[in-house]
Structure 1
Amino acid sequence: MADESHGDGHDQELGSSHPNATDRQAGIPGKVPVVPKQYLMAFILTTCCFALWGFANDITNPLVKVFKEVFQISNTQSSLVQFAFYGGYFTMALPAAYFIRKFSYKGAIMVGFALYALGALLSIPASMNTNFWIFIAGFYVLTFGLAFLETSCNPYILAMGPPETATQRLNLAQAFNPIGSLTGMFVAATFVAPNLDVSEFRSSMESGSPAAVQYVDAEYPNGLPNFAEEYGTLDAAVSTGLLNMKAKDAPAFTAMQQHDLGVVRTPYVVIAAVVLGFLALFALTKMPTFAAEVPDAPIGELASRLLGKAHYREGVIAQAFYVGAQITCWTFIIHYGMEQVGLSLGEAQSWNIYAMIIFLVSRFVCTFMLKYVSPGKLLAALAIVAIAFTFGAITLPGKTGLICLILISACMSLMFPTIYGIALKGLPAEEAKLGSAGLIMAIVGGALLPLLQGKFIDELGVRNSFYLPLICFVVIAIFGFRTFMRHDQEVSAA
């Protein structure tokens, strides 16, 4: 882009050291700045992107449960929401990396905003036509945009300063991702959930009101029943009632669908407008380019180099398992709370908000701890604690299990940016661009594992389904141990 200001030739290795030059540049003797002053505005604007994709992630998570009831589909089918959402990352990460090579980080961010807005706006025809598959297409396109944003923003942040503080800088930027997530959760809990007709229907089933009795296949001359006891769980009672409503009173069921999908549509239209505003802001703002002095090597050669580096190769695998664990834990908090504790959708979403607050606080705490503890050691320790909490969610009943489930978020807060930083440590800038795409492609774990866990919930129950994220945390713990016992020494020696 012609209007971008050039950086300082930041084409050195991400793992190299040049503290003296950095100290003089920042004017702070003896200290290496996390974000040098000349990059501060670019850092702030780019960090806003982290919040924007956090909003998209967490306004979408509750829809797995909402669509199950509104469209009357199975847990496996409703998990296609996450399959489409995170599958878009896998599809578009490499094209995004190619775009960055040919143009710039700023250009990739702008394309990301455009695709994000387009996908969000597809909620309009999806809701107006009561069409589940248009929603799925919209989520898929929306995450084309998120793939562009994440593939560009993560290495862009790493480049905005000295390599010694790259992991700290990325953790700092990633700390604002939960702010967007919390906003998405807040909107879901306070605007979406309370205004859904299916939420009112669930309440009527829970209270055994006459409005619910008309949609069950029995008569109760001696008083209203406890539907949760009669059908095993309140969830099963709601599903039966909605199926009967669809069969006995199709116009009422269709009206309920159209109303609820209209409620779902509104936040997507609003966020599309916000994203288009950021697109205009980036178009008018000068940003550093960090242009390489020589062209990058061919993609095939770079890929061969990357796959030959154990810390990168294993980092991609660990990232896939991490994202799968994160999305399953956060998506199915709602199922766990509603099915195991008897919460309403809004109440269950409130527990999801508690999890995100814990995640946010822990992110800042863990970023501080990285000053004193190596990333690999801290990653391994948190993964071990996450294994313990996940086992608690599986084995402990009711609210105790739910508390264990939300406490997993304290352990997950460090994982994504730290795995990312470890995997790219010591890589030249041309390798880091392609390496970033591989790590974003690893987000496909968030597409595959929720689909698998949805099937486990249908067949084994919600609590036993959490053996899946438990296995993921075992993989992450192994990567953390290998990082401080082997990879750190190999990268330093290279």
Structure 2
Amino acid sequence: MNTSQATPVVPKKLLLPFILVTSLFALWGFANAVTDPMVQAFKKVLELSNSQAAWVQMAFYGGYFCMALPAALFVRKFSYKSGVLVGLTLYAGGALLFYPAATTGQFWFFCLGLYILTFGLAFLETTANPYILALGDQKTATQRLNLAQAFNPVGLIVGLMVAKFFVLDLLQSDDVENFSALPEAQKLLIKSADLMVIRNPYVILGLVVLAILILIAVNKMPQAKGDGAMPSIKDTFGELFKNKKYTLGVISLVLYMGAQIGCWTYIYQYAESKGISSSTAANYQLVAFILFTVGRAIGTYLLKFISSGKLLFYFSSLGGLFALGTVVLEGDAGLYSLVMVSLFLSIMFPTIYGIALEGLKEDQSKIGAAGLVMAIVGGALLPKLQGMIIDLGGVEVNDITIMGLSEMNLSFLLPVICFVSVAIYGMWIHKKHNIAEIA
């Protein structure tokens, strides 16, 4: 008899901490989803190029990169709960900065708010992901993380709905066919009104996060804490970089994040190239998020029967195939193909994360988790590069064609390359390590 089959994904005694920590996954999903459409919103309102507007994602995901290691060091010295509380404080503070940013009308101020907000998200992800892995048997760690991550799309969907109905639908600049040609005085009035529209969801979000902070602060949770006798940071990094599975996992996560954020950010510009408004494009992204949620559920179930590496290979390969469809297909077919990519994005982050940290000691996991959260910087760098490709012929989305493809379509070759690379990592893991998740 295989007794491992009776191993619960989440032990009953750890159910409440699991639920509280899992709620954070929805919280940062909301921040991700409400921010993606802001690239297009700021482009319209502030008359930016695609690559200039991509500074939204540079600030957002750059914050992860800068704060992930300090967050890990903090958690290593103190506790998971302390890390969560600091993260929520920074999250709320960054969101509330949108109030003075809208008053000044300065793009850099909004980016600063996002940068600080993601300091908080870096704390939350650095803390929550390894915490979830630790809340139960290691045999079910990747399943447990996929289960927790399944609530991330809930936040994504809610965030997108807020962005659509309370931002994109209300932007006056998006209703004007040639906003740049308006008289300066009229543009200034519209700009001021639109910046207030962008501001409001973030300010409300900041207040909600403060309420959640209080809720978690008053609840008892396991106070996992680092041991002062643990190896030095230098030694820990040295051990991690010798671990090929971990190192390649970090690289794969950089590429995955670049592909995901590129597909989710530029679905608005891709739709624009087909003559579709930003508000309508949000409907397509909503379908993408629903598929992402469905894919996460399917993937979590399949992990009972298929090794992590093999499933990662399958999903990455199919994601790359649909991303390629976005490049070569014309009209609505290309847009539908782009939407379908999200079905296969679904399990990649938690699966890569779980594979990379599998088998590490607790002290290595804390620092290793920071490296993986730092890898989220791929969501800053690669979309910026994709924006530069879109701007090759000018600030519009269909300025020139290259090898028979519009610059917009051509830019999605970047996610294709990322998916292929992740698929190779998945197959390597399957062949070399054969990490099978047992229910």
Please report the TM-score for the alignment, with normalisation by the length of structure 1.
Answer: 0.84
Which of 228, 237, 244 is 1:303 aligned to? Answer: 237
CA distance in 2, matches of 1:250, 1:36: 62
Please say if 1:361 is aligned against 2:282: no
CA distance in 1, matches of 2:321, 2:352: 20
Which of 260, 265, 272 is 1:338 aligned to? Answer: 272
Which of 238, 244, 247 is 2:181 aligned to? Answer: 244
Which of 327, 342, 346 is 1:413 aligned to? Answer: 346
The letter for the 1-side match of 2:285 is: N
CA distance in 1, matches of 2:175, 2:320: 37
- Deviation at 1:475? 0.8
Which of 272, 277, 281 is 2:215 aligned to? Answer: 281
Q: Given the superposition, is the C-alpha separation of residues 68 and 292 from structure 1 closer, same or farther in structure 2, using an over 3 Å criterion?
A: closer
CA distance in 1, matches of 2:329, 2:206: 41
CA distance in 1, matches of 2:217, 2:327: 49
Q: Is the 8 A contact 2:87 2:121 kept in 1?
A: yes
Q: Is the 8 A contact 1:392 1:404 kept in 2?
A: yes
CA distance in 1, matches of 2:180, 2:184: 10
Q: Is the 8 A contact 2:77 2:228 kept in 1?
A: no
Please say if 1:325 is aligned against 2:253: no
- Deviation at 1:243? 2.2
Corresponding residue number in structure 2 for 1:15: none
Which of 355, 362, 384 is 1:429 aligned to? Answer: 362
Corresponding residue number in structure 2 for 1:464: 410
Cα distance per residue 1:418-449 (max 9 Å; x no partner):
00000001111111010000000000000001
Q: Secondary structure at the match of 1:198?
A: coil
The letter for the 2-side match of 1:333 is: I
Corresponding residue number in structure 2 for 1:270: 204
Q: Is the 8 A contact 1:35 1:161 kept in 2?
A: yes
- Deviation at 1:276? 0.4
CA distance in 2, matches of 1:296, 1:256: 57
Corresponding residue number in structure 2 for 1:119: 94
Corresponding residue number in structure 1 for 2:403: none
Please say if 1:256 is aligned against 2:231: no
Q: Is the 8 A contact 1:360 1:413 kept in 2?
A: yes
Please say if 1:85 is aligned against 2:60: yes
Q: Is the 8 A contact 1:323 1:445 kept in 2?
A: yes
- Deviation at 1:294? 6.2
Q: Secondary structure at the match of 2:173?
A: helix
CA distance in 1, matches of 2:291, 2:218: 36
Corresponding residue number in structure 1 for 2:104: 129
Corresponding residue number in structure 2 for 1:196: 171
Q: Secondary structure at the match of 2:408?
A: coil
CA distance in 1, matches of 2:226, 2:263: 40
Q: Secondary structure at the match of 1:147?
A: helix
Cα distance per residue 1:189-237 (max 9 Å; x no partner):
1121111101221xxx3xxxxxxxxxxxxxxxxxxxxxxxxxxxxxxxx
CA distance in 2, matches of 1:387, 1:310: 24
- Deviation at 1:242? 2.2
Cα distance per residue 1:8-46 (max 9 Å; x no partner):
xxxxxxxxxxx97xx8xxxxxx50000001110000010
Corresponding residue number in structure 2 for 1:315: 249
- Deviation at 1:129? 1.1
CA distance in 1, matches of 2:218, 2:324: 50
Cα distance per residue 1:159-191 (max 9 Å; x no partner):
000001000000000000010010010111112
Q: Is the 8 A contact 2:51 2:384 kept in 1?
A: yes
Please say if 1:140 is aligned against 2:115: yes
Q: Secondary structure at the match of 1:199?
A: coil
Q: Secondary structure at the match of 1:463?
A: helix
- Deviation at 1:307? 0.6
Instruction: Name the count of aligned residue pairs.
Output: 422
Corresponding residue number in structure 2 for 1:45: 20
Identity %: 48
CA distance in 2, matches of 1:316, 1:486: 17
The letter for the 2-side match of 1:437 is: A
Corresponding residue number in structure 2 for 1:480: 426
CA distance in 2, matches of 1:282, 1:48: 10
Cα distance per residue 1:333-368 (max 9 Å; x no partner):
11111112x111110011001000000011011100
Corresponding residue number in structure 2 for 1:225: none
CA distance in 1, matches of 2:225, 2:130: 13
Please report the TM-score for the alignment, with normalisation by the length of structure 2.
Answer: 0.94
- Deviation at 1:292? 5.5
Corresponding residue number in structure 2 for 1:235: none
The letter for the 2-side match of 1:120 is: A
Corresponding residue number in structure 2 for 1:290: 224
CA distance in 2, matches of 1:295, 1:404: 52
CA distance in 2, matches of 1:279, 1:75: 36
Q: List gaps (5 residues or longer) in structure 2.
A: 393-405
Q: Secondary structure at the match of 1:435?
A: helix
Q: Secondary structure at the match of 2:412?
A: helix
Please say if 1:104 is aligned against 2:79: yes
Corresponding residue number in structure 2 for 1:54: 29
Cα distance per residue 1:370-407 (max 9 Å; x no partner):
00000100100111111111111111111100010010
Q: Is the 8 A contact 2:83 2:124 kept in 1?
A: yes
Q: Is the 8 A contact 1:101 1:296 kept in 2?
A: no
What are the within-5 Å matches in structure 2 for residues 365-444 of structure 1? 365-444=298-377
CA distance in 2, matches of 1:295, 1:281: 33
Range 425-434 or range 290-299, more displaced: 290-299
The letter for the 1-side match of 2:215 is: L
- Deviation at 1:73? 1.2
Range 283-292 or range 265-274, more displaced: 283-292
Q: List gaps (5 residues or longer) in structure 1.
A: 1-18, 24-29, 206-240, 490-494
CA distance in 2, matches of 1:293, 1:100: 11
- Deviation at 1:488? 3.7
The letter for the 1-side match of 2:126 is: T
The letter for the 2-side match of 1:301 is: D
Corresponding residue number in structure 2 for 1:27: none
The letter for the 2-side match of 1:191 is: F
